[in-house]
């Protein structure tokens, strides 16, 4: 029980631009302790991309630009996403997939395959 | 505590970096024409929007966030503070990534009024900030039945101090004491959230504290459990929650901890408890009303292709303050924020808006210290009614019953959601 609890806390602390507040607080923990988040390169200009906008729906669970911060799958750089999108055995993914058309999935896939994959991200598809 | 000092120092540093940023912009004829987009409020919707404006718009825009607090405490997962599974520290986020990685200017103040004619925001210290586009993401405000003290009768529906007040009150209960909570009339922030809270608290009192004589009583202004009915009913039965629909609070007495309410057609009923957790009815945040953006309702109507106000141009409203059929929730607020960021960038670069936006919602609800359920829906744009509607109303909302597996997965979901929003 205790072990599980502290594991979660560690998990949250790892990603959360973390700051300790409250009684006896005032300590600030490094916001990026182990490089779990990617280096960001901002573009010089804006260009329209429908696939990118649709794929932003994936980021809440699979990470910004498809790089997950934990064992949930990273999808950056994937070329086969269209094939597995509707077949994922994860029930929540199955539920979300139902809301997207094949055409939208193709659009999402063509954007995702252009994205660089983080070295430490997980794309095992085992979650 | 030295929080104050830290805030001042932060403010100071932010202003330095703001100056530095402007002075490092190449001195071309461009400088004057780079549009300035200001995001007001940096919770789930505002933080995501500001980040994605820069992630996608880069050097083509300047983005400023105006937010009074240097630390944001997530309401998502905050019910787990009440049963000792996590602390508010673990739900606390700062804006370092926004400042350093996304080059967003941070001003730790609140917006008092908006001068939409001159396109200027007036801040709490009377300073003014010009905008080309302003995105309001200020969250919710409460509709109180009467004037009472939130520190005595906490809502804990905006997380942080309120969460800890409620936690302390719960921890002061002894066996036999009553916990009475109320559920607001829909629409309110996080539809499953109050039911989730009732389960978590009842499980905590019974199974962690070992209380056999205490009771958790829920007065719901709605006529039934509004989401995940079977799941919550099962949990209510398992934990012995006393659930009463059609109960509308009419008076809160914070001294005697007594509620007056109407149950169905019977007015003037009262109930007294050691801990009263009234979650009041909700409306858009104050700045939305002060700017005249509600059109007579409680939330702000917007064009759902861009989230631009249908009442005033160049003002966009996202998250819990806007009006649509989408639930008032953080995961989907993050989704709305991206549609809005993309739309603002398209408008500023003279591109047509994307005509078929989709958003998705996910809520994980802990129902005990070991089990959670989830609720999901995907929304599409309905051009006829300018609304976001379920992509398939025979399928959604989709839910998964409480399980220990879902409880573990909940933390993976929240880690990625928090990272996509705040880092
Ligand atoms: C117990 C609980 C559980 C929840 N669980 C889930 C869940 O599982 N999934 C989910 O998706 N959602 C969940 N939610 C809902 C979610 O937390 C909210 O819907 C979400 O926080 C709304 O985001 P927002 O950006 O609109 O508002 P907020 O997150 O409230 O942010 C508003 C920000 O605006 C700032 N602000 C306000 N006025 C001004 C002003 N005048 N000037 C400048 N700044 C201002 C505030 O300081 C604040 O930081 C839960 C909520 C609760 C209470």
Q: Check B412 against A63: CB less than 8 A apart.
A: no
Task: Tell which atom from ligand 1 comes closest to the C-alpha of B189.
Answer: 19
CA atoms within 13 A on the CB side of B57: 27
Buried b (16+ CB within 10 A) or exposed e, B256-272: ebebbbbeeeeeeeebe
Instruction: Parse chain A into domains and list their residue ranges.
Output: 14-45, 48-117
Q: What is the pLDDT of residues B222-263, one digit of tens each?
A: 999 999 999 999 999 999 999 999 999 999 999 999 999 999
Distance (Å) from CA B23 to ligand 1 centroid:
34
State the DSSP code for B320. G
**Confidence check: pLDDT of A7 > 50:** no
Q: What is the pLDDT of residues A39-95, one digit of tens each?
A: 678 999 999 999 999 999 999 999 999 999 999 999 999 988 887 899 888 999 999
CATH superfamily of A48-117: Cytochrome c-like domain (1.10.760.10)
Q: What is the mean pLDDT of chain B?
A: 93
CATH value of B3-139+285-354 in 3.20.20.140, 3.40.50.1820, 3.30.70.1350, 3.50.50.60? 3.50.50.60
pLDDT, residue A82, reads 81
Task: Give, for ligand 1, the residue of B189, B196, B291, B366 to mutate: max count of ligand atoms closer than 8 Å to Cβ.
Answer: B189
For residue B409, the chain A residue with the least C-alpha distance is A72
Q: What is the pLDDT of residues B7-24, one digit of tens each?
A: 333 443 343 344 334 333
Whole-angstrom Cα distance, residue B365 to residue B193? 7
Q: How confident is the model at residue A123 (pLDDT cuts 50, 70, 90)?
A: low
The helix/strand/coil state of B263 is strand
Q: What is the pTM of this model?
A: 0.90
Instruction: Parse chain B into domains and list their residue ranges.
Output: 3-139+285-354
Per DSSP, what are the bridge partners of residue B309?
Answer: B302
Whole-angstrom Cα distance, residue B189 to residue B213? 31
Q: Check A37 against B423: CB less than 8 A apart.
A: yes
Q: What is the pLDDT of residues B101-143, one digit of tens each?
A: 999 999 999 999 999 999 999 999 999 999 999 999 999 999 9
- Average pLDDT rounded to a whole number, residues B57-83: 98
Q: Tell me the Cα Rg of chain A.
A: 17
Burial of B255 (0-12, 13-18, 19+ CB in 10 A): exposed
- Which residues of chain B have a CB within 8 Å of the CB of A70? 412, 415-416
State the DSSP code for B189. B
**Confidence check: pLDDT of B347 > 50:** yes
Per DSSP, what are the bridge partners of residue B301?
Answer: B323
Whole-angstrom Cα distance, residue B336 to residue B387? 13
pLDDT, residue B218, reads 98
Task: Give the number of other CB atoms < 10 A from CB of residue B389.
Answer: 17
For atom 45 of ligand 1, the residue with the nearest CA is: B41
Whole-angstrom Cα distance, residue B58 to residue B51? 10
Whole-angstrom Cα distance, residue B365 to residue A63? 21
Task: Give, for ligand 1, the residue of B40, B42, B43, B232 to mutate: max count of ligand atoms closer than 8 Å to Cβ.
Answer: B43
Residue B331's nearest CA partner among A123, A9, A92 is A92
Q: Check B419 against A91: CB less than 8 A apart.
A: no
State the DSSP code for B90. G
Tokens 């309001």 sit at which residue?
A: B136
Q: Tell me the Cα Rg of chain B.
A: 22
Cβ within 8 Å of A, B 230-259:
none
Backbone angles phi, psi at B63, to 5 degrees: -120, 130
Distance from CA of A121 to the nearest CA of B (A): 12
Q: How confident is the model at residue A119 (pLDDT cuts 50, 70, 90)?
A: low
Task: Give, for ligand 1, the residue of B73, B127, B165, B190 to mutate: max count of ligand atoms closer than 8 Å to Cβ.
Answer: B190
**Confidence check: pLDDT of B220 > 70:** yes
Nearest to A15 among B85, B86, B419 (CB): B419
Task: Give the number of other CB atoms < 10 A from CB of residue B1.
Answer: 11
Residue B75's nearest CA partner among B43, B108, B47 is B43
- Give the angle subtended at the CA of B141 by the CAs of B136 and B143, to the nearest 5°: 145
For residue A121, the chain B residue with the least C-alpha distance is B416
Cβ within 8 Å of A, B 313-332:
331
State the DSSP code for A90. -
**Confidence check: pLDDT of B55 > 50:** yes
Nearest to B417 among A37, A40, A60 (CB): A60
pLDDT, residue A79, reads 81
Distance (Å) from CA B393 to ligand 1 centroid:
26
Total CB pairs under 8 A between chain A and B: 199
Nearest to A63 among B164, B335, B420 (CB): B420
Whole-angstrom Cα distance, residue B396 to residue B402? 18
Task: Tell which atom from ligand 1 comes closest to the C-alpha of B78.
Answer: 1
Q: What is the pLDDT of residues B349-375, one digit of tens each?
A: 999 999 999 999 999 999 999 999 999
- Which residues of chain A have a CB within 8 Å of the CB of B420? 59-60, 63-64
Q: What is the pLDDT of residues B198-210, one digit of tens each?
A: 999 999 999 999 9
The helix/strand/coil state of B184 is coil
* Residue B385 CA: distances (Å) to CA of B159, B238, B308: 34, 42, 16
Whole-angstrom Cα distance, residue B421 to residue B33? 28
- Which residues of chain A have a CB within 8 Å of the CB of B80? none
Q: Check B92 against A16: CB less than 8 A apart.
A: yes
Whole-angstrom Cα distance, residue B311 to residue B293? 6
- Which residues of chain A have a CB within 8 Å of the CB of B55? 40, 42, 64-65
* Residue B11 CA: distances (Å) to CA of A16, A94, A119, B108, B166: 21, 45, 35, 6, 31
Check: CB of residue B379 under 8 Å from CB of residue B358: yes
First to last CA, chain B: 27
Q: Check A96 against B376: CB less than 8 A apart.
A: yes
Strands B178-183 and B215-220: parallel
Task: Tell which atom from ligand 1 comes closest to the C-alpha of B139.
Answer: 27
Q: Which of B56, B88, B349 to mutate to test the interface with A (most CBs of A within 10 A)?
A: B56
Long-range (24+ apart) CB contacts under 8 A made by B97-102 are B97/A17, B97/A31, B97/A32, B97/A37, B97/B51, B97/B422, B97/B423, B98/B42, B98/B47, B98/B50, B98/B51, B98/B65, B98/B422, B99/B14, B99/B17, B101/A39, B101/A40, B102/A40, B102/A42, B102/B50, B102/B51, B102/B54, B102/B55, B102/B63
Task: Tell which atom from ligand 1 comes closest to the C-alpha of B156.
Answer: 53
């Amino acid at each position: 029980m205790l072990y599980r609890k502290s594991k979660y806390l560690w998990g949250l602390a790892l990603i959360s631009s973390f700051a300790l507040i409250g009684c006896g607080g005032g300590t600030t923990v490094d916001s990026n302790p182990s490089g779990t988040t990617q280096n960001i390169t901002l573009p010089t200009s804006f260009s329209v991309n429908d696939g990118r906008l649709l794929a932003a729906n994936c980021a809440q669970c699979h990470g910004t630009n498809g790089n997950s911060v934990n064992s949930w799958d990273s999808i950056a750089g994937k070329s086969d996403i269209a094939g597995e999108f509707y077949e994922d055995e994860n029930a929540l993914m199955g539920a979300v997939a139902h809301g997207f058309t094949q055409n939208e999935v193709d659009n999402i896939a063509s954007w995702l395959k252009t994205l660089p994959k983080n070295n430490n991200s997980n794309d095992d598809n085992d979650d | 505590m030295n929080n104050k000092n830290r805030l001042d120092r932060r403010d100071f540093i932010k202003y330095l970096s703001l100056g530095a940023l402007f002075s490092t912009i190449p001195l071309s004829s461009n400088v004057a024409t780079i549009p300035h987009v200001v995001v007001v409020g940096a919770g789930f919707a505002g933080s995501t929007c500001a980040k994605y404006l820069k992630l996608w718009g880069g050097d083509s825009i300047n983005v400023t966030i105006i937010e009074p607090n240097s630390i944001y405490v997530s309401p998502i997962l905050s019910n787990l503070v009440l049963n000792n599974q996590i602390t508010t520290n673990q739900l606390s986020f700062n804006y370092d990534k926004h400042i350093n990685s996304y080059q967003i200017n941070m001003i730790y103040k609140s917006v008092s009024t908006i001068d939409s004619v001159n396109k200027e925001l007036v801040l709490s210290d009377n300073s003014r900030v010009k905008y080309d586009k302003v995105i309001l993401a200020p969250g919710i405000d409460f509709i109180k039945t009467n004037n009472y003290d939130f520190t005595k009768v906490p809502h804990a529906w905006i997380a942080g101090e309120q969460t800890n007040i409620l936690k302390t009150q719960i921890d002061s209960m002894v066996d036999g004491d009553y916990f009475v909570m109320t559920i607001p009339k829909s629409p309110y922030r996080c539809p499953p959230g109050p039911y989730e809270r009732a389960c978590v608290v009842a499980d905590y009192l019974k199974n962690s504290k070992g209380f056999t004589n205490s009771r958790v009583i829920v007065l719901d202004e709605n006529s039934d459990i509004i989401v995940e009915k079977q799941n919550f009913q099962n949990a209510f039965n398992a934990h012995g929650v006393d659930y009463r629909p059609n109960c509308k609070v009419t008076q809160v007495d914070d001294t005697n901890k007594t509620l007056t309410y109407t149950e169905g057609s019977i007015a003037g009923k009262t109930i007294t408890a050691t801990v009263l957790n009234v979650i009041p009815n909700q409306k858009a945040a104050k700045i939305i009303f002060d700017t005249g953006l509600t059109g007579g309702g409680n939330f702000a109507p917007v064009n759902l292709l861009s989230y631009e106000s249908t009442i005033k141009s160049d003002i966009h409203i996202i998250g819990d303050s806007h009006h649509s059929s989408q639930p008032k929730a953080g995961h989907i607020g993050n989704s709305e924020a991206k549609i809005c960021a993309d739309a603002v960038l398209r408008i500023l670069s003279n591109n047509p808006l994307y005509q078929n936006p989709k958003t998705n919602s996910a809520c994980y609800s802990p129902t005990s210290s070991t089990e959670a359920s989830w609720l999901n829906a995907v929304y599409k744009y309905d051009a006829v009614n300018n609304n976001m509607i379920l992509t398939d109303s025979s399928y959604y909302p989709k839910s998964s019953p409480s399980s220990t597996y879902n409880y573990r997965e909940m933390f993976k979901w929240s880690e990625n959601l928090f990272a996509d929003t705040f880092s």
